[in-house]
Every structure is written in structure tokens, then in C-alpha cells.
């Protein structure tokens, strides 16, 4: 299994950019004027919302892969709240709102109902944030994996409970400030050694497909959705979606921050089949974790009033471990 075909863009001394320079076979789903626009305009997401980007990219790709026959089941959370303020909706596909913790179970029920009706042509996508997936919905998700339900479940990970006021979740990284992990004391922010890696837990279930992606890698994300939609059984996609509000980043920097998370090694991008890693997205321009941390106000306490080099070093070691564990450093990588 190989990663999405890489496209190299050349500086041509003009404003020419993006898919206008590519043939149709290399263009992304988002470049197609006939794309599904599953999440259309009019929603109330914050400016620069990574989750809004991720959901549109994922569901448009899923719609194309399934010939437009997709049912989405959505957990309570930011994505549900900003897209469906009663009596309005920005969804342009069959869409169900579930509770905070049972979206995987509801998606599994939809898949079972379709199977009973003999509708193998209609596919099911479950989705939620890290709160509804890593924490509150964890049991239902594990059950979905264990039973092998025919659902692609997508976690849009913004690393905290953003909808309810930026509280810590099981996906909040060490040292990050949230409303419940204040930047005080000798070890400010979220504690080291807590939380969990849901992609690794999904792999432990040995389901057919597990992958990670970010909103900075559009083609990679779309390719993984298409790959997952071409399979049957329980599948899991974990997408990093920076949150300008909760992370304290500029709304124009969402894609850049996601790319830095990948290039620092803090967010490894990989694919796994039946519990085994089959492919990784290599880091070709490695950056120190400080370059990723500094633009985020949730880490400001690590640099002001003085640099907490001890804490930054611990975060760097975590990134180094990811790089070694997954073999993320490309041979030609710039150190």
C-alpha cells in the first residue's frame, strides 16, 4: 500500500497555484466544481476552524467514493453545534445527530438496518470530536471495532472539549493549557503521562483499516478516505484539526500549524491494515517542536516570562520517539 501520489509544485514567478497546473487525474476532489459540498456555506464555525475543513474534505471524498450514497452520523460537539442550529442545517446529505457518547453505536445501527434491507450500495460514516471519540464515546467505538460493523468512523481531533469551553480531553497533549489544566505550578498545563492514542488503540483491535491525517495534507486525506470507503468492516480515520480559539492561534494559520505538527513528529501520519503499520508519510523538512509550540497561546507559559527548556525538551523527546517508532524521517530529510 502506498501513500497518496505526491505532487510537487514549482515556483513559476507568478500567482499561478494549486490544481490549475495539474491534469484532471491529479486534481483533488475539492478542485472538482461538481463536488458534493456535503458541508456547505452558512454554518457558524469560527474563522479558520480546522474541523469545518476536515469534515468537508472527508465527506466530499466519501460521497465521491460511494457515488453520492452516504449517511453520516454525528456526535454532539462543535461540528454538530455550528452546522445545525435549529431549524437550520449546512449538511447536504442524509445526516443524523446522535448523543455525545453513542455516535459509533448509532452508526452501527444504521449499517445494520441497511444490511437488513439489502442496501449494500449505501455507506455509513460516523464522526465526532476527540471528546466524543477518545473519551465519552470510547466504549461504543471499541464495541463497533470489536463487532466489525461496516462503518468508517472519523475523529476530528482538536485536542480538547472546545464546544463546552476548552476543557482537557484524553487527546490533550502534555503541557497544553486548557480551562481545566491551568498554566500554574512546577508542571503547568496538562500532565505528562496522561491521555491516550486512539489510533494505536484502534490498531490493537486489528480492524481492516486505521489511518491518521491532517487538514494540511488534502490529497493524503482524500486518498485515505477513498481507500477506507473501498473496504468493508470497521475502519477508523483520525484527523488533526487545529482550533484557533482553543489553541490560541491565528485563524489564517490553521493549515500551517497542522503541517508543523506533522513535520515536528508530534503527530505521526500513517496507515495500518489489520493492526500493522503499512505506510507512513515521511518528514522531509523536520522542524523542532519549539517551532510548532511558539505560535500557540496554549503553550505561551513555556516561553514567557522565561523559557521552560525542561518542559520543551520533554515534548521534543516525545516527538523524537514518534519519529523513531514509525520511521518518519525521510532519507533526504533536512535535520
Given a cut of 90, is residue 295 above it in pLDDT? yes
What are the C-alpha distances in Å from 49 to residues 235, 240, 273?
25, 11, 30
What length does the chain have? Answer: 335
Residues 50-62: pLDDT tens digits? 999 999 999 999 9
Measuring CA to CA, which residue among 130, 127, 39, 129 is closest to residue 83?
39
pLDDT classification of 6: cutoffs 50, 70, 90? low
- pLDDT of 94: 98
- Grid cell listed for 241: 484539526
Q: To which residue does cell 454554518 refer?
A: 43
- Grid cell listed for 230: 473501498
**Domains recognised in the chain with CATH numbers:** 29-326 (3.40.50.970)
- pLDDT of 10: 55
The mean of the pLDDT values for the chain is: 93
DSSP secondary structure string for all residues of 230-283? TS-S-EEEEEE---HHHHT--GGGHHHHHHHHHHHTSS--EEEETTEEEEE--E
- Grid cell listed for 118: 439489502
β-pair partners for 97: 74
Residues 169-200: pLDDT tens digits? 999 999 999 999 999 988 999 999 999 999 99
- pLDDT of 155: 98
Residues 202-219: pLDDT tens digits? 999 999 999 999 999 999
Distance of alpha carbon 51 from alpha carbon 329, whole angstroms: 27
Amino acid at each position: 500500500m502506498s501513500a497518496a501520489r505526491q505532487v510537487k509544485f514549482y515556483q513559476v514567478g507568478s500567482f499561478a497555484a494549486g490544481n490549475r497546473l495539474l491534469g484532471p487525474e491529479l486534481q483533488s476532489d475539492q478542485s472538482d466544481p461538481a463536488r458534493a459540498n456535503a458541508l456547505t456555506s452558512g454554518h457558524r464555525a469560527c474563522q479558520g476552524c480546522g474541523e469545518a475543513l476536515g469534515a468537508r474534505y472527508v465527506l466530499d471524498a466519501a460521497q465521491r467514493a460511494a457515488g453520492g450514497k452516504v449517511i453520516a452520523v454525528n456526535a454532539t460537539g462543535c461540528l454538530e453545534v455550528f452546522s445545525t442550529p435549529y431549524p437550520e442545517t449546512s449538511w447536504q446529505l442524509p445526516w443524523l445527530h446522535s448523543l455525545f457518547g453513542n455516535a459509533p453505536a448509532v452508526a452501527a445501527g444504521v449499517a445494520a438496518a441497511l444490511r437488513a434491507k439489502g442496501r449494500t450500495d449505501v455507506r455509513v460514516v460516523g464522526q465526532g470530536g476527540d471528546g466524543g471519540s477518545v473519551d465519552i464515546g470510547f466504549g461504543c467505538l471499541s464495541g463497533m471495532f470489536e463487532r466489525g460493523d461496516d462503518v468508517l468512523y472519523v475523529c476530528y481531533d482538536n485536542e480538547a472539549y472546545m464546544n463546552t469551553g476548552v476543557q482537557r480531553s484524553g487527546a490533550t497533549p502534555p503541557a497544553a493549557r486548557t480551562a481545566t489544566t491551568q498554566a500554574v505550578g512546577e508542571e503547568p498545563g496538562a500532565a505528562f503521562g496522561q491521555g491516550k492514542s486512539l489510533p494505536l488503540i484502534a490498531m490493537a483491535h486489528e480492524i481492516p483499516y486505521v489511518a491518521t491525517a491532517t487538514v494540511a495534507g488534502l490529497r493524503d486525506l482524500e486518498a485515505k478516505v477513498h481507500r477506507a470507503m473501498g473496504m468493508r468492516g470497521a475502519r477508523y480515520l483520525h484527523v488533526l484539526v487545529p482550533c484557533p480559539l482553543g489553541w490560541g492561534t491565528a485563524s489564517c494559520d490553521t493549515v500551517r500549524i497542522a503541517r508543523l505538527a506533522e513535520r515536528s513528529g508530534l503527530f505521526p501520519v500513517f496507515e495500518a491494515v489489520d493492526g500493522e503499520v503499512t505506510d507512513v508519510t515521511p518528514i522531509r523538512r523536520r522542524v523542532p517542536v519549539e517551532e510548532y509550540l511558539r505560535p500557540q497561546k496554549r503553550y505561551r507559559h513555556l516561553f514567557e516570562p522565561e523559557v521552560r527548556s525542561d518542559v520543551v525538551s520533554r515534548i521534543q523527546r516525545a516527538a523524537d520517539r514518534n519519529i523513531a517508532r514509525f520511521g518518519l524521517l525521510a532519507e533526504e530529510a533536512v535535520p
